[in-house]
Amino acid sequence: MKKTYQAEPFRIKMVEPIKQTTRAERITLLKNAGYNPFSLKSDDVYIDLLTDSGTGAMSQNQWAAMMMGDEAYAGSRSFYRLESVVKKITGYAYFIPVHQGRGAEKVFLPQLVKHPGMYYISNIHFDTTRAHVELAGARAIDSVIEACYDLDQDHPFKGNFCLETLEKVILEKGPQEIAGIIMTITNNSAGGQPVSMENLRAVKKIADHYGIMTIIDGARYAENAYFIKEREQGYQDKDIIDIAREQFSYADVFLMSAKKDGLVNMGGLIAIKNRKDLYDLCRTYVVPYEGFPTYGGLNGRDMDALAVGLEEALDEHYLRYRIDQVRYLGDKLRAAGVPIQYPIGGHAVFVDCKRFAPHIPFDQFPALSVTNAVYIEAGVRGVEIGSLLLGRDPDTKENLESRTEFMRLTIPRRVYTSSHMDVVADAVIAVYQNRKELKGYRFTYESPILRHFTSTFEPIL
């Protein structure tokens, strides 16, 4: 039976021209960028799937809301409008705006680290989260279910915590040594995979038993709620906002990069359920790190756009279109034999570069090789999510080998059409058909922190 996909639930009112380059030009441009896609100029990218963070298109209501922005340094009306929306969605008592997710991590995560050497446990820490855990003097431990690494297995919630591993780590390290448990929804590094409500509930039960605080890293919490409605028994007839509220009920803190499911170009938040002492501590630190607590690094107009975007992202018609556009690309690749993480995740298609380029060892970064080849093929920019991103062991300084080597093709929200997805699919398939020609990469400069952002490379010929 032919698959059907939800069409865009909007009309296009404004367009932005994008430039096409020649293959010869792209070879030179990539070389000049040190073979790091992050260093390419956006003008030299035809279809940009580097990230969905702040790259979406805002709605007419968001643009209108920006005109209402109150730019007062303290006590802005925009802050109180945003605070009202955050409290309505989460049910939490306390809220602080920040400029983006890493601002939330910088302010909040050190507050739970009482001494160096403590641990945060997550279903999988993403890059900035892991970096801020380590910068706070703690260590990051991942505890995701094994099905996450069986990329062909049709498991509905591959982002789930492995409960047995979670409890084992708590007992081995000692509950007093666990700074917190971070529930990443959806689980980005697992392939944009959702976490079930049952799993969230079970993690919170374990955390409460041992007296450990739980934190939702919820940049894509609305997409996670949609997957729960679609896949988990008992949620089909529930509204997305009610599913979202139940998700938040199983945590103590919510950290968000609002550049994803907030549908804005810049913004983030810290929400705390009921710990006023922790809220007061975070307010103290947000001043030197981000700004006054009623703007937190954002303009008033940013906060008004976010207040609208948070509610728009919970619209079920939008979410179905959003998830279906990602599925459309993933299904085209899978039909052509390109190995991907399956089921297809919420915000991106994750191409399995271990199987795509098995001749390239992990420390020569196979996913970077595939990503660069796709750019040369068609001007499509993706991103490596593998051993390059994982980095080095903070103690031994040895290269860590990721269990997955992904090229992430990340779809910005409300930006590209199905025809753009066809171009992306054709480019990846063409590279796959010539995959034996791919070469690995080595560093010409390695950045000591979050190395995938600013390092430079050369191909190993």
3 state DSSP class of 349: strand
CA dihedral 11, 16, 17, 19 (to 10 degrees): -120
Tokens of 125: 């820490």
The single residue of 104, 219, 258, 348 carrying the catalytic annotation is 219
Question: Which of 254, 398, 416, 292 is closest to 348 using CA atoms?
Answer: 416
Distances (CA, A) of 423 to 5, 35, 36, 47: 18, 22, 22, 9
The single residue of 70, 127, 142, 252 carrying the catalytic annotation is 127
The single residue of 35, 46, 119, 126 carrying the catalytic annotation is 126
To the query of whether residue 126 is one of the catalytic residues in this protein, the response is: yes
3 state DSSP class of 100: coil
Residues 6+ positions from 255 with CB-CB distance below 8 Å: 101, 104, 105, 108, 215, 216, 217, 218, 268, 269, 270
DSSP bridge pairs for 268: 98, 257
Locate tokens 């976490």: which residue? 195
Taking the mean position of all CA atoms in its chain, how far away is CA 199? 19
3 state DSSP class of 145: coil
Q: Strand 178-184 to strand 119-122: parallel, antiparallel, or no bridges (unpaired)?
A: parallel
DSSP bridge pairs for 183: 216
What is the number of helices (H) and of strands (E) in the chain? 17, 14
To the query of whether residue 207 is one of the catalytic residues in this protein, the response is: no
Structure letter (DSSP) for residue 450: S
The single residue of 260, 332, 347, 420 carrying the catalytic annotation is 260
The single residue of 33, 227, 452, 457 carrying the catalytic annotation is 452
- CA–CA gap between residue 10 and residue 13 (Å, rounded): 9
To the query of whether residue 127 is one of the catalytic residues in this protein, the response is: yes
To the query of whether residue 132 is one of the catalytic residues in this protein, the response is: no
To the query of whether residue 73 is one of the catalytic residues in this protein, the response is: yes
To the query of whether residue 44 is one of the catalytic residues in this protein, the response is: no
The single residue of 217, 304, 324, 331 carrying the catalytic annotation is 217
CA-based R_g, the chain, Å: 21
Question: Which of 456, 454, 461 is closest to 127 using CA atoms?
Answer: 454
- On whether the CB atoms of residues 123 and 184 are closer than 8 A, the answer is yes
To the query of whether residue 289 is one of the catalytic residues in this protein, the response is: no
The single residue of 7, 31, 64, 73 carrying the catalytic annotation is 73
Q: Strand 94-98 to strand 139-142: parallel, antiparallel, or no bridges (unpaired)?
A: unpaired
Report the sign of the C-alpha dihedral through residues 158, 205, 129, 365, in that order.
Answer: negative
- On whether the CB atoms of residues 215 and 181 are closer than 8 A, the answer is yes
- CA–CA gap between residue 416 and residue 109 (Å, rounded): 35
Question: Which of 226, 117, 216, 225 is closest to 161 using CA atoms?
Answer: 216
The per-residue b/e assignment along 372-388, b for 16 or more CB within 10 angstroms, e otherwise, is bbbbbbbbbbbbbbbbb
Q: Return the H-helix or E-strand segment holding 172.
A: helix 163-173
- CA–CA gap between residue 112 and residue 118 (Å, rounded): 9
Q: Which residues are catalytic?
A: 73, 126-127, 217, 219, 260, 452
